[in-house]
């Protein structure tokens, strides 16, 4: 009994470094996605340690994960840099997510519980006409995370989590040119209704429509930035 109690205390003691690494990963990823760390910027470990109040080890472990996610690039003898945003990646992101997102929806429709759908409804509840773009994007991500949890396939959802971060970064880059983010909240409400009804095919079809709208808006925003104005 005493040995068991000692083991629990020991495990509690050694667990924090892992949770600190996860915290570092989430925080640095958020900074990259929201463009607090802009594409091409040098990532300085000492500055991250001071900003996040974390030690060197969790920061380095987080950067290793972010390199695997292709959000940072490590250049030998030069340092770590935030990966560039290439608009050409939009097509690749779309075609990959177009396969995996509907699959995750089908799994979630079968495996999800009312607990998941109540949580999703609660996430959507604060969305209103007065919600900021950042608040709406946070709701969009939370809805995705709940669906991924309900799907119960960590390999699929882990990949989707990484792909979503890249798409989210594009959102933030072109955010000022996107006409309306409130439409995607309405789309999530339709998706929720399909999931609650256990209608896997409808949920899959709706997420494809949702993603197509995202793709179309971003492409339109890119064209507006790149096309020269017509001469008067």
Under 8 Å between Cβ of 34 and 75: no
Looking at per-residue pLDDT, the higher value among 138 and 6 belongs to: 138
* 15 pLDDT higher than 50: no
- Quickly state the pLDDT bin for 179 (edges 50, 70, 90): low
Q: Percent of the chain scored above 90 by pLDDT?
A: 62
Instruction: Give the mean pLDDT of the chain.
Output: 86
Fold designation for 89-226: 1.20.120
Q: What is the pLDDT of residues 51-106, one digit of tens each?
A: 999 999 999 999 999 999 999 999 998 999 999 988 788 889 999 999 999 999 99
What is this structure's pTM? 0.80
Under 8 Å between Cβ of 200 and 109: yes
Q: What is the pLDDT of residues 93-124, one digit of tens each?
A: 999 999 999 999 999 999 999 999 999 999 99
Under 8 Å between Cβ of 177 and 221: yes
* 141 pLDDT higher than 70: yes
- What average pLDDT does range 11-26 have in this prediction? 68
Q: Torsion over CA of 187, 191, 194 and 200, rounded to 10 degrees?
A: 130
Under 8 Å between Cβ of 144 and 160: yes
Q: Percent of the chain scored above 70 by pLDDT?
A: 86
For the domain spanning 2-82, the CATH number is: 1.10.10.10
43 forms beta bridges with: 80
> Among 6-15, 77-86, 177-186, 203-212, which stretch is predicted with the lowest mean pLDDT?
6-15
* 155 pLDDT higher than 90: yes
Written as six digits, the tokens of 87 are: 């608009």
Instruction: Give the residue among 24, 27, 30 at the shortest CA–CA distance from 61.
Output: 24
Domain segments of the chain as ranges: 2-82, 89-226
């Amino acid at each position: 009994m005493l040995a068991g109690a000692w083991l629990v205390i020991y495990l509690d003691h050694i667990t924090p470094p892992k949770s600190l690494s996860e915290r570092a990963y989430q925080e640095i990823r958020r900074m990259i996605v929201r463009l607090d760390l802009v594409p091409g910027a040098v990532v300085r470990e000492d500055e991250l340690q001071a900003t996040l109040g974390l030690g060197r080890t969790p920061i380095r472990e987080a950067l290793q994960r972010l390199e695997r996610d292709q959000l940072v690039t490590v250049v030998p003898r030069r340092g770590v840099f935030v990966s560039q945003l290439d608009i050409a990646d939009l097509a690749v992101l779309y075609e990959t997510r177009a396969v995996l997102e509907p699959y995750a929806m089908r799994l979630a429709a079968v495996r999800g519980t009312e607990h998941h759908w109540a949580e999703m409804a609660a996430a959507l509840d604060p969305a209103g006409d007065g919600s900021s773009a950042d608040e709406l994007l946070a709701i969009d991500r939370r809805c995705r995370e709940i669906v991924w949890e309900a799907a119960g396939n960590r390999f699929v959802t882990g990949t989707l989590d990484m792909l979503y971060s890249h798409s989210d970064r594009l959102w933030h880059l072109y955010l000022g040119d996107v006409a309306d983010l409130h439409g995607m909240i309405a789309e999530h409400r339709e998706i929720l209704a399909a999931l609650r009804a256990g209608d896997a095919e409808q949920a899959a079809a709706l997420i494809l429509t949702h993603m197509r709208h995202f793709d179309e808006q971003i492409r339109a925003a890119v064209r507006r930035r790149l096309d020269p104005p017509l001469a008067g």
